[in-house]
Amino acid sequence: MINNVISPEYNEDGRVMRRVRSFVRRQGRLTKRQEEALESEWAEMGIDFINEPFDFAKLFNNSNPVILEIGFGMGTSLVTMAEQNPDKNFLGIEVHAPGVGACLASAKEANVTNLRVMCHDAIEVLDFMIPNGSLAMVQLFFPDPWHKSKHSKRRIVQVPFAEKIRTKLTDGGVFHMATDWEPYAKHMLEVMNSVAGYENVSVSGDYVPRPESRPETKFEKRGQRLGHGVWDLMFKRI
């Protein structure tokens, strides 16, 4: 059901460095709720990796715009977005099985039908399964910032990755990023400004206020109470 999971550590080209070829369900790693959701909901909402492009109209049984979220964590905000936007389709990719299980459980409880999830390396999914020009939006919220300067090249947002995302967006499609680490926000801005074919949505040329389309997480609200900032970037394919 869930196999060939790839751990999310990236090199300077935006590719995964450490690979785990098969998922091993370790005792205690999954809650009962997560495990039951993986068993009962995967057939309906889960997608296994195959080397074949998606037919999104067939996958969702409609031609609504498709939004991809990379690294959805426990899936709380992703399920909320899907629930609040029934006229859009959502595809979430996450490499941690507990998060996938939690997302599936929440989606079932919310009676969400416009959501599909994968447990695989997002780079490989982009390379082999996402058709060019097929996504209305790509969301990357709070990725690992790799705080130490010597590890900064492991950040997923690098020029090759940004270029790859652009090819998957429709004309006018948006790459939406968010981070609570200001040095990473500056890094994202520098990378995105260097890639041809994007236009910054920000009227000030840097960051945008959190759009209503991105729900606040409990972690984010707690950070704000502690005085931590959050930076949203939105770049449109032109």
Binding-site positions: 69, 94, 121, 144, 148, 180, 217-220
Q: Single out the residue of 168, 64, 173, 175 nearest to residue 114, CA to CA.
A: 64
Q: Token match 């082999």: residue?
A: 128
Classify the phi-psi angles of 205: left when phi > 0, otherwise alpha if psi is within -120 to 50, otherwise beta: left
Strand runs (DSSP E) across 123-168, as ranges? 135-141
DSSP β-ladder status, 169-179 and 89-93: unpaired
Choosing from 144, 171, 206, 232, the catalytic residue is 144
Give the integer Cα–Cα distance in Å for 10 and 215.
Answer: 26
Please report, in range form, the residues annotated as the binding site for S-adenosyl-L-methionine. 69, 94, 121, 144
Q: Is 144 among the catalytic positions?
A: yes
SS3 for 51? coil
Please report, in range form, the residues annotated as the binding site for substrate. 148, 180, 217-220
**Whole-Å CA distances, 197 to 69, 107, 165, 192:** 21, 35, 11, 10
Q: Any idea which residues carry the catalytic annotation? A: 144
